[in-house]
Chain A
Amino acid sequence: MIEITDIHKQFGRKKVLNGVSFTVNKGEISCLVGVNGVGKTTILNAIMNLTPLKSGKISIDGEKLTSSLYNKIAFIPDAAISLPHYNVQESMDFMADYYDTWNARRAKDIVTFFRLNPSDKLHDLSKGNQAKVNLLLGLALDVDYILMDEPFSGIDVFTREQITEVFSSYLVEDRGVLITTHEINDIEHLLDKVILLDEGKIYKEFNAEVMRETEGKSVIDVMREVYNG
């Protein structure tokens, strides 16, 4: 379980996170939603110790994040993070060099699934294919938790469909997944937990299926209530 307790973050005078707490459980797909600039990415960065917090606590299965835990939790940011002059295979080799949890067989499966060509150089790839490489490098790690920042942003419909398929596949099964997105449409039927952020706080946290059952509302319905007043 990833436990986020009362985290605060400020950029200059601007309070971005103002006491946010929630948990991410294994075997569940959780989604942080909120309009742009609401601090979703900051939360993921903070979990991965890539940005300092003003206060608050984050633990992963009860432990504080140290570099050895990067074998247990993977982050797929919304930016290409491999070297552009590498090809797909070299990017995978790089991962294999450092991560104990790199699963070469699964990596091969994903390359096939995404129809990537191992000898393609990253800087020659389309934006959609670059996003796929990013996913590949994260998903092929045998980690317990995966964080994904805006996996659908700026990607064409068909790539989006392919990426959506990842979420109902064995690639994420039994793992704890935390996604941020403002394009909820594509994945709302895949989510377990939805965490709505607004003005640095959690406005609402609910199970999508329970929301449909008890109030007959889709995730977008709930979002509309929050952001339209």
Chain B
Amino acid sequence: MKKTLKAFLNLTAFELDRLSKFLYALIGVTLVANMIGYVLIPLRFTDRINAYMVQNSVTEQQALEVYGELSFYDILQTSWILGPIALGVSALLLYAFFIWYREWLGKNTFAYRLLMLPIPRMHIFYSKFVVIYVSIFTLIAIQIVSLIFGFNLMSALVPSEWLRHMSFFSALSMHPFFYYILPLEPWIFLAINGIGLVFLHVTFTVILLERSFSVKGILIGITYVLITLLIALFPAFLPELIGNHYYLYNSELLILTVLSLGLISFTSIMISRFLLNKKITV
């Protein structure tokens, strides 16, 4: 038991190492873009106010009435901030595929080595899974730190009378991107990550189906995705189906949803295990 755990940690560290350059690049892009945004937007704002005051020889107050005060939200909704997040999400989504396919593609078929390791093959599955989640959380953590820094930077760059007073959290909550991605509301955050986890399990399963049965595997994979979608959405449509919106409490519907997501995860893991142990081809 101890030995397999050590092997698993080894493998996870190994996968993390392979991903690190990619992750550093994402972090780098995020920080650089954010920094530009944090500086550029306030400077442009103060420039504009100052220019307006000089051109029209009006007071600060009048200029602000025209342009409005700057809020952190004005910075958040620029692509300097949203861009890297969208990039991170889509890059990790792509990486979920790449993390498997790179073992087969290219000059070296590393799949041979991985599949012939004297450890349970599901270790490969879990280590890839963990690594993607570690990256997601790393990016989120970096984003939070960056935002806190950006908030303070903005406050330092712009005179406080020119700022609309809005708290850090309310600025973040205003934008759906942050509302869903950052841990602002514990339940939302949990739900989003829960859905993400199930989604990743299903994605891995589809990849393994393709690796095991090639073209036929893609068709089976699409069918599987449709079935999981039906199962996942079933609780939401249940009130429609039975024609009674008051039959179940919302909390009961929530439990049903959690159960159906759990079922999907569990089935995906079972299918993946079967494929890795019995059907996979190098």
Interface size classification for chain B: 20 to 34
**In the complex, what's the smallest C-beta–C-beta distance from A219 to chain B, in angstroms?**
29
Residue in A closest to B11 when the chains form the complex, CB atoms: A98
The answer to whether residues A70 and B118 also contact, given A52-B279, A52-B281 and a CB cut-off of 8 A, is: yes
**In the complex, what's the smallest C-beta–C-beta distance from A46 to chain B, in angstroms?**
10
**In the complex, what's the smallest C-beta–C-beta distance from B75 to chain A, in angstroms?**
39
A77 and B109 CA atoms in complex are apart in Å by: 10
A222 interface residue (CB < 8 Å to B): no
Candidate in B112, B117, B120 with the most chain A CB atoms within 10 angstroms: B112
A68 lies within 8 A of B118 (CB): yes
B113 interface residue (CB < 8 Å to A): yes
B121 interface residue (CB < 8 Å to A): yes
A50 lies within 8 A of B280 (CB): yes
B110 interface residue (CB < 8 Å to A): yes
Residue in A closest to B109 when the chains form the complex, CB atoms: A79
A77 and B282 CA atoms in complex are apart in Å by: 11
**Inside 8 A of A51's CB, which chain B residues have their CB?**
281-282
The answer to whether residues A67 and B121 also contact, given A75-B116, A98-B10 and a CB cut-off of 8 A, is: yes
B108 lies within 8 A of A98 (CB): no
Q: Which of A71, A80, A94, A98 contacts B107 (CB 8 A)?
A: A80
A67 lies within 8 A of B120 (CB): yes
**Inside 8 A of A100's CB, which chain B residues have their CB?**
118
B112 lies within 8 A of A81 (CB): yes
A13-54 residues with Cβ-Cβ distance < 8 A to B are 45, 48-52
The answer to whether residues A45 and B118 also contact, given A50-B112, A77-B109, A97-B10 and a CB cut-off of 8 A, is: no
**In the complex, what's the smallest C-beta–C-beta distance from A57 to chain B, in angstroms?**
14
Residue in A closest to B115 when the chains form the complex, CB atoms: A50
A71 lies within 8 A of B118 (CB): yes
A52 lies within 8 A of B121 (CB): no
A83 interface residue (CB < 8 Å to B): yes
Beyond A67-B121, A75-B112: 4 further Cβ-contacts under 8 Å?
A50-B112, A79-B108, A80-B107, A81-B108
Show 14 residue pairs from A and B whose CB-CB distance is below 8 angstroms, ordered by the A residue: A45-B281, A50-B115, A50-B282, A67-B120, A68-B118, A70-B117, A70-B118, A81-B108, A81-B109, A81-B112, A83-B108, A98-B10, A98-B118, A122-B108
Q: Which 7 residue pairs are nearest across A and B when measured between Cβ atoms?
A: A70-B118, A81-B112, A50-B282, A51-B281, A71-B118, A80-B108, A81-B113
